[in-house]
Structure 1
């Protein structure tokens, strides 16, 4: 009997109290309620009732609703001052509890982290304050175990087998008994399943479930990231069976009743390495403005609600793009085949047809299912060169040139409208890895956005706005792409920083996007513009998916929803279904509306949280792979010098981003001059006590690659010439700076993972690592032999 089975289940045919009734009984008591008292209060005399209520109580314990005390009684966590949260491990062995109810994180010392693993949901009790002012917590119970399959490297030392987790937030090594090795060899990357949880006296025990291969094998970084972040990468038999039943080409029956746009000169414009083409565009003059058609692959026709394909697409949430590799949301037969708008092939699509006036305002819009035939597969580079007047390309794409010029004219209008409403634009540089035949990195090259990128971006934004307005107009329900306004705390810190520079953010207590844009324009020529832009970006929130339309702050739009990429984003597929549902309710005389579906409010809220989560999961995984590849590349450049910019300042040094490669590395204070250094977290600088040399975000300097740690994905730099780095302040200014830091003593507690704050003791270069923790240091991962005695005891 599960905890949710009730009175009339045939297995027991007895009545037991519900969760609400049990909670009410415990709440009514002044102290925890004993198990025997529960039986008496509810008059549970039957042995089968005892079994049922015991299971339900255990389930309520597991979910954190009740706590089982040492006195064999059940109490309420909130009355015991217990809090529920997620464990966030740190590479140095300590950790934090991120409270599910919100609020400041609680600190878990090393000895408490030995009882849990990163990702566990736990009940904790506050236990005091440490020497650095952090509120400590004691683990009462693990409510829900985190990831039970852990990716790591397999080692054998003195007859003891261990798996060292690749995720540095998991500080415990996993002991692998001899019978659980399953063919793994020393140094290989493996997946290990935890079979015994850690305790005060023993490490966690695991069994090897999968051997990924040699540590430095080509593509290993992707295999590790996929498994470490729990990204689904295999198609189950139900999905494969459904895909097998889909035809290779669009049938005449599928085309019937749709609007025929096969003669319209729609084209796709994507990157050179793109394989799935989910959007095509065409526009023509319309009075003083333009009429724009954005045709999007009709994925909802093939991926219907509650099907095996839909279940898998929902689980994945998004395609995950790694360098030269992709884990798609949909099988290749759809993503690169039937749903990809390949040139000169009939394809089903959903069309947003829009009228835009001469001031870039959306006047009219309509949506309908259609069939199209792309007239060309163009790239951003080709379109840019065509618009620049490349004679060879203009001759090759002679028929498309007039339409591309129309798109450029439309873009000029939309660009002006974007500036008028004040949408925030950041000038960031991305990079691309160039691999050789052995999949080793030959070089890292910058990726420059040209006008063709921006044309497509503005067309897609317009279609997304039209889709959001269409749903809102007809009182439908979908997931909006919401970017909320910055919160007060972040704004306060940013304003304080600007004040130190003699700058001001307009807009009073509620700045608008235009105020941020005006600031960026104001500082564009300043030498510290990089610093200001970085901190401005950090003051903004992360965009999420939600059924509540709260606008998009960054784009300065009142309504915005993702419509244009249903091949690779699940929220777009949901929006297509809602649009079809609305069209059907309007009794449009069109076929092709079979994929329509309407979700309830509660279900849509759950979908929003899930899609936001899968998006973050994909971002984390791709960032991890990028970090690995950058470290691998820099291993061949130890000793080389590069120009860079200070990107982050901490109390133990500062990170430098190489200007050409966009690779970050740490200049540790132990590699600076031997003196005391003071750190100001609010103003983001380090200052030497005697030299008065200041290092700030945005400083340009030259560094030398000192070392690379691939296992921990760390790159260490040192200054090529410290005398020319940073800026030496006058004694008077330096005294003012340190006085301000002293005045801010005690500010901002509990920053997870940060090693220092303003007002703390200065860091000194000496024989010990600056910022040394007061917590017991975890055993070194490079010295497994010291743990042999404990490991053998665990195996027994």
Structure 2
């Protein structure tokens, strides 16, 4: 028999995959320890993770000398020349060869810039890293890198900083999935160092531990942005503070919670601002091909507190005898494409933002103020470039034809909805008096015709009043109101809808790529749930699979005879699909339109800017049209701006919740009138009549009974007492808890449930709850 082969020694840890051991002086057991400079040089040249064990192996340090090495490494860490953990050491202020980066913006040349996703304040200012602009490899090889992305990257340290001051270049290995939300919380400091973070997200039920040194210099009670670091020996994830955002109880800063939580860009990079400031105001030139509309009284009619004005309207009777009783309507929209060209820094930033975001205390605009509030705002008495559509309607309000033009306009007056409506109602202001006969009355006459066509078309007619938060001079909630819905609002809305339809029709006819605003019909599952609910009210929805809004409108009209018509409006709203932007057309179910595209708000929506460029391209209206490369990306662009819209809606809703929770925080134990706005297996959501605030009542607090969740009826029913709480019920509640940073309210039910049995429904005994206790 031959000799038994020797067992192979396992590879040294330092030689594992992804780590290449650099040569280092080999030392005997009695040799002196390596110098600080030798250790730093070794770490600097290592291609993978290097810790105490790798250093000891590289320098042949064994036995008792390992204790001395540990002491030396600790001293270097205390001196600030080393950072990292025992298993992942690096020179302080230096990046490991492979790390996670967050792409945060662009430099003056438009190149992507990133910063480390995790960086200790002890290491000084986080380095700025130039991201090489080819695509990531691996599973995400087809995903282009953009601002806001997180990437796993290979880092190269430059011998000398480049002209922009970057000391590192990064080659993306993989684009990591985007976090839907950034992690925000309230930092609670401990005496002796470190602390905990209480999350502001009401859905997160735990607190996170923060070690000493990972607090990012946050103060007790600060709102912080944090990330989770590696788990400790007890397999518990720990938090590292990335940024302190200040006092979360200052109502003037509450909207910043949503801005940071959703990663909404709120500051424009200096190159973007510089590009906007360099733009020249438009000066009319009769040779530039624009139609001169300066003599036409195009009025801007907007909210009383509007800062920018991107649409203006005009109407007059059509004198064509073949169109007796008809009207000519012109809708003029700010020509943003004249200033914001495809591929510019302004364009890239606008696409990243997707839309403006509106909070009670601030606006996070899509475009810098130089454009949104100045160059593109259709200011009273000032010449402005515009894209306009001239539409001809017959006496029944049906559009007969339309034509787009690139034009120049000068609005004679800026009016609020209230001022214009008051003038039509007989209370004519000094400003409106000269506009009545040739501007305001023709607008209302044309609207009367268009409203007749709207009634025939029958869009979905939901009645869901929107509340508005009014702030005092200190930026705190003063009161919550429901603004009156005026014909002036409806007039502008209908004119804008018709202009949007005309844009979609023109682009579709010319076979020019565009982004539609689409709204799918309700899904079969949602329709089934809606039918089950309506049966509990003895209402019937037709069984046809091709339902149109008219069928829902009949239900809504019948619901007006009920004590709680809001209940039916709310449930029908919940049955609807969500509108979105798509390059393919499926129509707009809610508006009952076959073709629809957003054209009327390019100052605040990127989708509208795309449509403007598409029209300029299709109709050969000059510079600033849709580029070929831009057209090829419309599928991705449509998804990005749809996501941005949902992000904005969530941020606006959460800010409203937080502001009202802060407003009510000093009214604990007060009683309020409200309605049940949601029913789940775990409890009831109640919307207060006074403020529209939503709060929760846990099912465990409802009373001494077993409560059954009845999905079809949107109800909780007590199996012993028969007391039932149903969506839409009017109730009285007591406020027992308010958490402003989370926008959370908790109520106690004071109204007994109504008597009624839902045992006949097939899902009635599917979910049970233990008897609750009143608190």
- 1:485 Cα offset (Å): 0.9
1:283 matched to 2:290? The reply is: no
Are the structure 2 counterparts of residues 212 and 558 from structure 1 closer, same or farther at C-alpha, using a change threshold of 3 Å?
same
The partner residue of 1:386 within 403, 412, 423 is 423
CA contact (8 A) 2:700 2:770 kept: no
Give, in whole Å, the separation in 2 of the partners of 1:254 and 1:154.
Answer: 62
Q: TM-score, normalised by structure 2?
A: 0.74
Preserved contact between residue 598 and residue 608 of structure 2 (Cα < 8 Å): yes
More divergent stretch after superposition (565-574 vs 283-292): 283-292
Moved more, 218-227 or 279-288: 218-227
CA distance in 2 between counterparts of 1:602 and 1:198 reads 44
Q: Is the contact between residue 321 and residue 622 of structure 1 (CA under 8 Å) also seen in structure 2?
A: yes
Give 1:518-597 correspondences, 5 Å limit.
518-584=554-620, 592-597=622-627
- C-alpha change, 1:519 and 1:599, in structure 2 (3 Å) is farther
Name the structure 2 match of 1:204.
237
Q: Which residue is 2:537 aligned to?
A: 501
- Distance in 1 (CA, whole Å) between partners of 2:708 and 2:180 is 39
CA distance in 2, matches of 1:172, 1:653: 21
Verify the 8 A CA contact 2:707 2:768 in the aligned structure 1.
no
In structure 2, distance between residues paired with 1:429 and 1:219: 26
Match of 2:707 in 1: 677
Q: How does 1:783-794 map to 2 (within 5 A)?
A: none
1:410 pairs with 2:449: no
Distance 1:351 1:497 in 2: 46
Structure 2 equivalent of residue 223 of structure 1: 256
Residue 415 of structure 1: CA displacement?
Answer: 1.6
- Give the secondary structure class of the aligned counterpart of 1:665: strand
User: In 1, distance between residues paired with 2:516 and 2:308?
Assistant: 24
In the alignment, structure 1 residue 719 sits paired with structure 2 residue 749: yes
Cα distance in 1 for partners of 2:643, 2:246 equals 29
Q: Distance in 1 between matches of 2:384 and 2:574?
A: 42
Q: Per-residue displacement from partner, 1:612-638 (whole Å, max 9, x unpaired)?
A: 000000001111100101101111332
Q: Is the 8 A contact 2:222 2:244 kept in 1?
A: yes
Once residues 557 and 199 of structure 1 are traced to their aligned partners in structure 2, the CA distance between those partners, rounded to angstroms, is 57
- Deviation at residue 699 of structure 1 after TM alignment: 1.4
Residue number in structure 2 paired with 1:330: 367
Match of 1:762 in 2: 769
SS in 2 for 1:694: strand
CA contact (8 A) 1:255 1:348 kept: no
Q: Work out the CA distance in 2 between the residues paired with 1:255 and 1:542.
A: 45
- Deviation of 1:262 (Å): 0.7
Aligned length, in residue pairs? 601
Matched, 1:363 2:400: yes
What is the alpha-carbon distance in structure 1 between the residues aligned to residue 287 and residue 592 of structure 2? 38
Cα displacement string for residues 458-497 of structure 1 (whole angstroms, at most 9, x for unaligned residues): 0000000000000011111111000001111111111122
> Is contact 1:507-1:515 (8 Å) kept?
no
Equivalent residue number for residue 161 of structure 1 = 195
How far apart, in 2, do the equivalents of 1:208 and 1:461 lie? 47
- CA separation of 1:764/1:505 partners in 2, compared to 1, >3 Å: closer, same or farther? same
8 A contact 1:478–1:574 mirrored in 2: yes
Q: Which moved more, 1:423-432 or 1:605-614?
A: 423-432
Query: 2:7 matched to which residue of 1?
Result: none
* 1:187 lines up with 2:221 in the alignment: yes
Taking a change above 3 Å as real, the CA distance of residues 401 and 162 of structure 1, as seen in their structure-2 partners, is farther
For the pair 1:649 / 2:679, whether they are aligned, the reply is yes
- Measure how far apart 1:548 and its partner are: 0.7
1:409-468 superposed Cα distances (whole Å, 9 cap, x missing partner)? 222222221121221111112222222222221211222211100000000000000000
For residue 254 of structure 1, report the CA deviation from its aligned partner.
9.3
CA contact (8 A) 2:350 2:366 kept: yes
Q: Distance in 2 between matches of 1:200 and 1:562?
A: 55
**Maintained 8 Å contact 2:420/2:432:** no
Rounded to whole Å, the distance in 1 between the matches of 2:709 and 2:440 is: 53
Equivalent residue number for residue 86 of structure 2: none
More deviation, 523-532/422-431? 523-532
Q: Superposed, which structure 2 residues align to 1:608-647 within 5 Å?
A: 608-647=638-677
Match of 2:503 in 1: 467
2-structure distance, mates of 1:672, 1:383: 50
8 Å contact from structure 1 (residues 480, 561) kept in 2: yes
Partner SS, residue 381 of structure 2: coil
Q: Distance in 2 between matches of 1:721 and 1:683?
A: 19
Distance in 1 separating the partners of 2:515 and 2:582: 5
Match of residue 546, structure 2, among 483, 504, 510: 510
Q: 1:319 to 1:254 in 2, by over 3 A?
A: farther
Q: Which of the residues 664, 668, 673 maps onto 2:694? A: 664
Where 2:616 maps in the other structure, the secondary structure is helix
Distance of 1:683 and 1:272 partners within structure 2: 42
Q: How far has the Cα of 1:738 moved from its partner?
A: 2.8
CA distance in 2, matches of 1:718, 1:766: 11
Q: Can you give the 5+ residue segments of structure 1 that lack an aligned partner in the other structure?
A: 1-58, 60-118, 122-141, 585-589, 746-757, 770-796
**Which of 275, 279, 289 is matched with 1:246 structurally?**
279
Equivalent residues of 1:151, 1:189 under 8 A apart: yes
For the Cα contact (< 8 Å) 2:674–2:730, is it kept in 1?
yes
The structure that has the greater radius of gyration is 2
CA, structure 1 residues 171+639, in 2 after alignment: closer, same or farther (shift >3 Å)? closer
Unaligned runs of 5+ in 2: 1-97, 99-148, 152-174, 319-323
Task: Measure how far apart 1:601 and its partner are.
Answer: 5.9
- Shifted more, 416-425 versus 704-713: the winner is 704-713
Question: 1:705 and 1:764, CA in 2 relative to 1: closer, same or farther beyond 3 A?
Answer: same
Asked whether the 8 Å contact 1:187–1:214 carries over to 2, the reply is yes
CA RMSD, aligned part only? Answer: 2.7
Partners of 2:585 and 2:236 lie apart in 1 by 48
* CA displacement at 1:567 relative to structure 2: 0.2
State the secondary structure of the residue aligned to 2:330.
strand
Q: How does 1:414-493 map to 2 (within 5 A)?
A: 414-493=450-529
Change (3 A) 1:539 1:328: same
Aligned to 2:303, which of 252, 265, 271? 271
Change (3 A) 1:436 1:501: closer
SS class of match (2:678): strand
| Residue aligning to 1:261 | 293
CA distance in 2, matches of 1:164, 1:204: 14
Shift of 1:303: 0.3
TM-score, normalized by length of structure 1? Answer: 0.72
The answer on whether the counterparts of 2:655 and 2:743 sit within 8 Å (CA) in structure 1 is no
Is 1:706–1:717's contact at 8 Å kept on the other side of the alignment?
yes
Displacement of 1:700: 1.7
Alignment of 1:271-350 (within 5 A): 271-286=303-318, 287-350=324-387
* Larger displacement relative to structure 2 (279-288 or 682-691): 682-691
1:738 paired with 2:745, answer no
1: CA distance, partners of 2:300 / 2:636: 34
CA distance in 2, matches of 1:199, 1:608: 42
